A = this chain, B = another copy of it.
Amino acid sequence: MNRSSHLDETQLLKHISLDCVVFGFHDSQLKVLLLRMKRTKDWALPGGFVLLDESIEIAASRVLRERTGLDHIFLKQFKVFSSPDRSNTNPGVQDLLDSGAIDDSSWFNQRFISVGFYALVDFSKAEPTPDLFSDLCHWKSLEDIDLLILDHNQILDKALETLRLQLNYQPIGYNLLPDRFTMPELQKLYETILGKELDRRNFQRKMLSYDILCKLEERKTGGAHKAPFLYEFNLENYGKALKHGFNGGW
């Protein structure tokens, strides 16, 4: 990608960018944070560049803070995107070239490899904020996402594939759900990420077998006659499962 709030290219590492697939969960839908480019109105993943004194992780945290207002986001590198022709059709760069802001020999107009991160954020706490190259920063539901700039569809697909594989061996949900949630809410999150319906009993049995949930005395208030029980994550076991996987190791 080729956008940043730091346009002083002398302060940036050449050839390297990062792109973030930011997932949130709202209204039973998996949402992804996108930017709308100012001129072309094309959509793009939030991203940025690396300052000379930054690691790529620090750069990604900075970019996400700028786009969401949030710190300490669950953020994970998942792949480097480095096809030699990925930058050739960069509409962001084309904008800049057309506007005369940069010329052909520009720093921005060279080959970039991009480090892909995915982030899981609490939808209700994020404050989407556009960057210098965009006029809108917006949550889009997965099924409403059409063509993105560059190889950003590929980056999104790979992030989703990584997240789905992670569901099979590591817990998820702590960063996406409120502190207290019901089993149906947790199941809905899994169904949304996987894009398919799950059997209620099997889900509950499997999930409880991982020993990462605490059932609370309380039930969810409001509405239904048979209100479901509330759960919260057992953070010690959750952390262990994140580290070693659900099978608990050998």
Contact = CB atoms under 8 A, between A and B. Distances in A.
Interface of A: 13-16, 50, 52-57, 77, 79-80, 82-84, 111, 113, 115, 165, 167-169, 190, 194, 198, 203, 206, 243-250
A172 B148 CA distance: 36
Contacts of A248: 168
Given A13-B15, A165-B244, 15 more contacts: A15-B15, A15-B16, A52-B111, A55-B84, A56-B113, A165-B245, A168-B245, A168-B246, A168-B249, A168-B250, A169-B246, A169-B247, A190-B250, A246-B247, A247-B247
A102 to B, nearest CB: 19
A82 B57 contact: yes
Nearest to A59: B82
7 contacts: A14-B15, A54-B84, A56-B113, A80-B115, A168-B248, A168-B250, A247-B247
B53 A16 contact: no
Contacts of A244: 165, 168
Copies of this chain, tallied across the complex:
2
B111 A168 contact: no
A168 B247 CA distance: 6
Most B CB contacts (10 A, CB to CB) among A111, A113, A243 go to A113
Contact of A82 (B50, B79, B165, B198): B50
B77 A56 contact: no
A196 B11 CA distance: 47
Q: Which 8 A/B pairs are nearest by Cβ-Cβ distance?
A: A169-B169, A168-B245, A56-B82, A55-B82, A169-B245, A168-B247, A53-B84, A55-B83
A236 to B, nearest CB: 18
Contacts of A50: 82, 113
A21 to B, nearest CB: 16
A77 B158 CA distance: 13
A13 B77 contact: no
Contact of A168 (B14, B54, B84, B169): B169
B250 A198 contact: yes
A111 B168 CA distance: 38
A148 to B, nearest CB: 20
